[in-house]
Structure 1
């Protein structure tokens, strides 16, 4: 039995090594079937990233305002939007604020605790009205609407022209007006106006 086991083992090894014989494609130096390999470079990135070199996934997903210098398009009043967002973010109880300027409107989305919505909405309105006295102020604390406002704000911060996000802003503004104080209807169709 010992002889049979050794013979079987040697036979299996010999058969296995037969497949390794010959020149395979990896050893062929004249083979040019290489797929193009891309690379990511953030050289020339004008956002002033402090985490430059950490890779494209980090760069794509990192929306921390403290790490990026906003580069608003020249046709958008980014300084006013940033000033309003900074002052609103300084209010105790506001976790995060995003601002969109639309014609004579200021749309402020705030992330906060549901229990503090009414109190904070009044504070945000007061501060925003002082910073933008000739504009109608709309405050939103509904999480889904705030996400939509944040997406538009991030696109504007990344230098997109207002005309590129105008339909989104119009949709957000219409949903706020149509919903009144009940934003349930606004949540039903978040992307309907993006045509």
Structure 2
């Protein structure tokens, strides 16, 4: 666990256990008892809304990351779980107000790129997990200018990093893209 995971994420686990009068071991156990599943989903959603990745949450709960993805998706559908998750975040002091899709909006230098692509992968429109990709890598002089950034899901980001994604595969948010490569070109995203 890194420092962030060892700090407030561990505190969030403890708060969840305390709130529901259960042990941390019960949260981490394989039990599928309805109350435990509910409590686990509250924790997963709160941790995700606080900015932790699925893999960070999965390490804390000793679960597979796909289990965490499923828990967060199911939790988002349940108003009661959402309100419980917000209570935990407030107790932790990290309350965030998500957008209408219950997904975190970034703060800082990448906000414009998230808005440009509406928080969705530019290739497949996946919106659960997205990452900012530098078309021209920073290591070869690429900048953080919006014209050099694109929003991709982890799968398409990995493909772009390996030179397996072409600009023709990109869905631009509008017909007058500010991307330095024309959308119909066959230029590889580096």
TM-score above 0.5, yes or no: no
Higher strand share: 1
Q: State the TM-score, normalizing by the size of structure 2.
A: 0.29
TM-score by length of 1: 0.28
